[in-house]
Structure 1
Amino acid sequence: MSLSSASTDNAVAYVNGRVYTINPASPWAEAFIVSPSGTFTVVGSNSSILETAKAEGLVTYDLRDSFVMPGIHDAHMHIHHSGLAQLNEPVIGMDATVKTLAEKLKEGSCACDYAHVHEDWILGHSVGVENYDRSYLDKTFPEIPVIIRTGGGHGMYLNTEALKRAGYDLQNEVETNGKRFLRREDGSLTGEVYETAMAKASLALPKPAVAHVKRAILKALRVAHSVGVTSVQEAGINSIALQALSELENEGLLQTDVATHIVHNVEFLAQEPISELERLIDRANDFKSKHVDTNFVKFAIDGVPLPPLMTQCGLDEHGNIEENKLTMAERDFEETLARYDARGMTIKIHACGAGSVRRSLDAIEKARKKNPTGPRHEVAHCNVVHENDYARFAKLNVTAEMSPAFFFGHPLTQGFKDVLDWDFVKLADAGAHITVGSDWGGFFDPSLIVAGANAVERVGKGSKERGGELLCRYLTLAGAEAVGKQNERGSIEVGKKASFIAVDKDLSKGEFDGASVTKTWFEGNLVWEKPKP
C-alpha cells in the first residue's frame, strides 16, 4: 500500500445506495467509486463495485439505502450579502410597527455575532412597516447612521444621520432612472427609499474588511451545504468579495463551485461605483481559479413586483414596454450587453416584469445578429413572461432562471398571480432551458428542496413523479449547462466531480414535501452532515 493519500488505493467505494444519476443513458445505479482527487471513476451495481473494492483494497462507505443524487446548483444566490447579513444584521420581526422599529432594531443588535463591521453604522433588516418616517429612528439613534433593508433588498429605511452622511438632499432629491423616494407632506424625504435611490447610501456605507467577508462567505456556504448546494451562481459580486473568494481558494477553504456575476450597473447591490465595477469586469480573469469562474456579468433593468414597491417594468394596454419603469437607458443596455457578449461573457439580467423580459430578449436578439454563436445568457426571475416571448428563450439560447424559489408557494403570490407566476410548463413546452435559484439574501430558508414542494406538481403538469424528474434535472445538470460546466459536474458519471448529496426522500418521485438533505459531499469530501437527534 502506498503511503501517499493521492495513490489509487486511496479511492473510496460507496455502496448500497439508490443513486439517481441524472444521466439519461443510465439514470439509476447502486454504487460508485470516488478517486482520491474527487472524481467518479466507476458507477454501477453493488456487486461490481464491491468486487473492485475487494480486489483493490478500497475503503467502502455504506450509503444505507439512501436516495443519492448530484449536488444542487443554485442558479441565483447572494452568498456575500447573505453571510454578512447572518453575522451582522438583526432581523426585525413581523410584529414590528413604525413606532417599535428602533426598539426592535436595538434589541436585535445585541444578538449579532459581530458589531462595528461598518464602523459606527447600524444595519438591520425588516419585512416592512407602514407609514415609515425617519423621526422614529432619530429618537433612538440621533447621531448614529442607521440603514434597515427592506423590500427584498430593493428598499431601505434611513434615519436622518444616514441620509446626511450619504449626501442626500433632504428636500430636493429628484426621481429619475428608477429612483424612488417617499416624502412627507412638506416634500422632504421620509427616509424610505427604493431601487436606484439607494445608491448613495450603499456607496457611503463603510466597507467591511476582506477577512470579515471571508468569514461571511464561509458562513453562507455552510448554510448552502446544509441544503445540498455544491455549486452556485453568485448573482451580485464586487471587488472585496472576489478578493475574499480568491484568498479562500488559495487557503484551500473553498469547497463550493462559484460562478461570480460581477455587477455592472447596480451600485446599490455592489456598493461600488459603476466606473470601478467596469474596471473589475475588465480584469475578471485575475480572480479565476479552480472553483471560481468569473466569466459572468449582472445587469438589472427594473425593480420588483412586491407591494408597496411594484417597481417592475410591465407592458401597457397596447403591449408596449413601460419605458419609464426601466432603470437602464436602452442604448446603454444594448451596447453594453453586445460588448460583453462579444467577449464571450454570460450576462444575467434581472427582469421582473413582462416589459423588462421583452427588453432583455430584444437586446440579446440584437447581439445574436452580430455574434450568432455568442454565449448563453440568462433572464433572472422569469416570474412573468408575455405569451409572445416564451418561444424566444430557446430561439435565442437564453436560460430562464426561475427565482426566488421561496415565493413559488408563498401566500403573497396568490394575490399577485398576474406578476408572480413562474410558468415552468409554458417555458418547458417552448423548449426553454430552465434553472432554479433561491435568490437567498440571508433572511429566509434557501432550500430549493423545500421550495420545490410548492412547484413539483405544477412542473409535472399534475404528476408528482414527472415533476420530480424534471425538477431534479433543473436543480443539477441544467445548472451546470447554464454555466458551461456540464462536462465537469451536474450528474453522477465517470470523469465528473464527485459532488453529491443524500436525501431522506426520493426526489425523483416528486417527494419534495418534508424532504431534507442528510449529507453533502463536495469533490468526495463530506462537507455537511445533518445533526443526529
Structure 2
Amino acid sequence: MAGEIADIVLTNGVVYTADQANTVCEAVAIKDNRILFVGGSHAAEDYLGGESRKIDLAGRMVIPGMLDTHIHPPGLSLLELYEVQLAHCNSLGEYLDAVKNFIAQRPDIEAVYGRGWSWSVLQGDELNKGPRKEYLDAVTQDIPVILRANDGHTLWLNSKALAVNGVTTATPTPAGGIIEKDPLSGELWGTLKEGAMRLIALPQYSMKQYREAIIAFQQKMNSFGITGILCLGSLAFQTIFEVCGELEQQGRLQLRVRGAVTVQPQEDLPKQFEAIDRLRRQYHTLSLQVTAAKFFTDGVVEGGTSHLLEPYAPPAGKGADYCGSFLWDMKELRQAFYLTNAANLQIHVHSTGDASTRKVLDALEYVRQQALKGDYRNTITHLQLVDPSDIPRFRQLDVVASVQPYWHFKSAHWWNNVDYRFLGQRAETEYPLGSFFAQGITVASSSDYPATVVPNPLLAMDIGVTRNMDRGSLYGLEDITDMNDERYLLNSKERATIQQMIKSFTINGAYAMFMEKEIGSIEAGKLADLVVLDQNLLTVPAIDIDKASVDMTFFDGRLVYEKNK
C-alpha cells in the first residue's frame, strides 16, 4: 500500500508467489504480520524507512510458508527425549542392542517404549506376522517392552508387556484388529495390529514433558520451513491442543494448527461428535482450530491390512482369496460421513488399498447426494493403490488427494522385500501423483511424521519431481546421479512439476486447511508466513532439489528460524 513503511523488506530474490498465475517477482515487504507489497526490487525501495530491516536475498528464493497437512505432533520429540529410537537401526540385532543399551542406561526404568522398527529387515513368517516376542524376552523378562513399527500400525511386545496388559490366547480380537499367534502352537506371537493395539497401555507423559516436546517439534518444523500443520487425532490430541493454546496465549506459537479428531467404528457416533464439538468450541482462533474428523477404513500393505480389489500376492502368505479387510460397515460409514459434514466438519480418511478408496468414494458420493449445503473439502490420504477409473471421481466429488511423496520411489531396503512381495506387479503402480495433478484434482502433500522420519518438504519435492531416491545418505546408500536410474525409479509417468510440488505444500495445503484466503501464497494482504531457500528450485536440476535448504522462516511477520543462528 503506497505511502506505508514496512518493517522488513526482502529484495533481489526469486519470489515464487504460488498464486494462480504462478507469478515470479523479486521482492516482498512486510508490515506487522501481513504482506504489504510483492513486486520488483526497485519498487520495494519505496517501503523502506528508518526503522525498516532490509534483507538482500542475493538471488535466493522465497516461497510461501510450507504446510504439512497430515502430521502427528509431537512427532519424534517425545521419543527422542524419553523412548528408545529404532528408526536408524538396520537389522533385528541392532533393534535388540538399542533396547539393551536403553535399559542399561536407565536401571530403574519400569517399562520400555519405542518406535521405528521396519518390516523390511524381517524374513519368512516374520515378514507376515512381525517379529517374535522371544527376541525381546531374551533382552528382558522383568519389564514390559512395547515397540511401535515405523508405520505406526503394529506393536511388537515381549511376554511381560502382553501379561501386564492382560493379553492372552483367549483374549477376544478387537474389531478391525489382529492378535498374531503361532500357527502351530497357538501361542501369542508377540505382535498386535491395528485395532488390537488399543489393548496395550501407552506411556503417560506429564504436561511439562509435552510442553518440552511440542516446543522441540515446533522448532523442527520451522527449520524445515513449515509454518502450518493439520494435526491428526491421537490419544494425546487434547493435551497437544492444550499446550498449543498455552503457547498461543504467550505469543510463542509459531505454527498455524488445524486438528482432525479420530472417529472410531463400533462406538457411539453422537457421543464422539459431541466430544469433537466441545474441542471445536474450545479452540477457535485464527491459528488454532479443530476442523475435521479422521477415519481409518483400512490398514497398511506391510501389515496385510490394506483392503485390495485383488488378493495379496502369494509370497505374502495370506491365502489365495485374501484381500484385507474394510474397517467399517458401509451403512455405518455413510452415516458417520453424513454426520461429519452435517456438523460442518471436514472428512479426512486414511485409505491405502484400492478397494478401500473405492468404498470411501462411494460413501462420499452418497453424502454429496444428500445435498448438504457447505464447503467441506473432504480428503482421502495415503492412496497407495488407486484404481485408475476412480481417480476422476476425486474431482467430481471435490475430494482432496492427500499424499506423502516421501514414499513415492522404490526404497532399496523396502520396495522389493515388502511392497513387491505383498502386491506383485501392482507395486509398480503405487502412489499415483502426476495423474491427480493432470486431472485437476487438488493435491496436498504431507509427511505423516513420524512415519516419515525426516519431514523435510524439500526431500518430498525432489521425489515428487523425479519419482526417484532423494538423498542416498538417508538410506545408507550412495546417492544417485541420474533421475532415470532404474534401481529406485517408481513409475516415471507419475512425475509432477516443481511448481506443482511447491503448490502442494503451500496454496493447496492452505485450501485443505480452509486457510487459502490468509496463507499459502505470497500476495499483498495475506499473513506474512514466508520461507527463504538457499537455491532457486525453479532452475536447479531436479535431482538436486534435495540439496536445497531453508535459510530463514518467517511466521506472522517474525523471523522464527535462521540457519546457523
TM-score normalised per structure 1: 0.87
- CA gap of 1:95–1:387, structure 2 versus 1, over 3 A, is closer
- Show the 5 A alignment for 1:172-183: 172-175=170-173, 177-183=175-181
Deviates more, 1:43-52 or 1:420-429: 420-429
1:127 equivalenced with 2:127 (yes/no): no
Q: 1: CA distance between counterparts of 2:493 and 2:34?
A: 34
Cα drift, residue 102 of structure 1: 4.0
- Tell me the amino acid that sits aligned with residue 200 of structure 1: L
- Tell me the amino acid that sits aligned with residue 426 of structure 2: D
| Percent of paired sites with the same residue | 25
Deviates more, 1:159-168 or 1:487-496: 159-168
- Tell me the amino acid that sits aligned with residue 485 of structure 1: M
- Show the 5 A alignment for 1:274-353: 278-285=273-280, 286-306=282-302, 309-316=303-310, 325-353=325-353
- CA gap of 1:507–1:448, structure 2 versus 1, over 3 A, is same
Cα drift, residue 470 of structure 1: 1.3
- Show the 5 A alignment for 1:18-33: 18-25=14-21, 27-33=23-29
Partner of 1:89: 83
Deviates more, 1:353-362 or 1:73-82: 73-82
Secondary structure of the corresponding residue to residue 148 of structure 2 = strand
Equivalent of 1:39, from 34, 37, 54? 34
- CA gap of 1:110–1:264, structure 2 versus 1, over 3 A, is farther
1:236 equivalenced with 2:226 (yes/no): no
Cα drift, residue 367 of structure 1: 0.7
Cα deviation code 1:179-210 (max 9, x no counterpart): 12222332121221111111111xx2242112
TM-score normalised per structure 2: 0.82
Cα deviation code 1:107-160 (max 9, x no counterpart): 146789xx99xx833111222464433233234432322101115111111122
Cα deviation code 1:81-119 (max 9, x no counterpart): 43222322222353442x66443213146789xx99xx8
Q: 1: CA distance between counterparts of 2:256 and 2:392?
A: 31
Ranges in structure 2 where 5+ consecutive residues have no aligned partner: 312-320, 469-482, 484-490
Cα drift, residue 217 of structure 1: 1.6
- CA gap of 1:40–1:94, structure 2 versus 1, over 3 A, is same
User: Does the 8 Å CA contact 1:90/1:111 hold for their aligned counterparts?
Assistant: no
Cα deviation code 1:347-378 (max 9, x no counterpart): 11000000111111111111111135441100
Partner of 1:221: 218
Q: 1: CA distance between counterparts of 2:370 and 2:269?
A: 26
Secondary structure of the corresponding residue to residue 208 of structure 2 = helix
Cα drift, residue 442 of structure 1: 6.5
Cα drift, residue 438 of structure 1: 0.9
Partner of 2:383: 382
Q: 2: CA distance between counterparts of 1:453 and 1:209?
A: 38
Partner of 1:5: none
Q: 2: CA distance between counterparts of 1:277 and 1:122?
A: 31
Partner of 1:3: none
Q: 2: CA distance between counterparts of 1:495 and 1:250?
A: 24
1:62 equivalenced with 2:56 (yes/no): yes
User: Does the 8 Å CA contact 2:408/2:464 hold for their aligned counterparts?
Assistant: no
User: Does the 8 Å CA contact 2:151/2:451 hold for their aligned counterparts?
Assistant: no
- Show the 5 A alignment for 1:79-478: 79-92=73-86, 93-97=88-92, 101-108=95-102, 120-125=110-115, 126-128=117-119, 130=122, 131=126, 132-168=131-167, 170-175=168-173, 177-184=175-182, 185-201=184-200, 204-237=201-234, 238-265=237-264, 278-285=273-280, 286-306=282-302, 309-316=303-310, 325-374=325-374, 375-403=376-404, 405-411=406-412, 412-413=414-415, 416=420, 418-419=426-427, 421-441=430-450, 444-457=453-466, 467-478=497-508
Q: 2: CA distance between counterparts of 1:496 and 1:344?
A: 25
Cα deviation code 1:229-262 (max 9, x no counterpart): 1111112342222222222222222101111111
Q: 2: CA distance between counterparts of 1:469 and 1:531?
A: 28
Cα drift, residue 454 of structure 1: 1.9
Partner of 1:4: none
- Tell me the amino acid that sits aligned with residue 222 of structure 1: Q
Cα drift, residue 382 of structure 1: 1.5
Partner of 1:498: 528
Cα deviation code 1:430-487 (max 9, x no counterpart): 2211111111117621112112212214699979997111111111101111111111
User: Does the 8 Å CA contact 1:121/1:205 hold for their aligned counterparts?
Assistant: no
Cα deviation code 1:389-439 (max 9, x no counterpart): 111101101001112624445333465362462222222222211111111
Secondary structure of the corresponding residue to residue 452 of structure 1 = helix
Secondary structure of the corresponding residue to residue 314 of structure 1 = coil
- CA gap of 1:248–1:165, structure 2 versus 1, over 3 A, is farther
- Tell me the amino acid that sits aligned with residue 83 of structure 2: E
- CA gap of 1:245–1:111, structure 2 versus 1, over 3 A, is farther
Q: 1: CA distance between counterparts of 2:306 and 2:163?
A: 29
Q: 2: CA distance between counterparts of 1:274 and 1:399?
A: 24
User: Does the 8 Å CA contact 2:433/2:495 hold for their aligned counterparts?
Assistant: no
Deviates more, 1:471-480 or 1:137-146: 137-146
User: Does the 8 Å CA contact 1:67/1:505 hold for their aligned counterparts?
Assistant: yes
Partner of 1:507: 537
Secondary structure of the corresponding residue to residue 381 of structure 2 = strand
- Tell me the amino acid that sits aligned with residue 65 of structure 2: G
Q: 2: CA distance between counterparts of 1:111 and 1:260?
A: 37
- RMSD value over aligned CA atoms? 3.1
Q: 1: CA distance between counterparts of 2:331 and 2:402?
A: 25
Ranges in structure 1 where 5+ consecutive residues have no aligned partner: 1-7
Secondary structure of the corresponding residue to residue 193 of structure 2 = strand
Partner of 1:53: 48
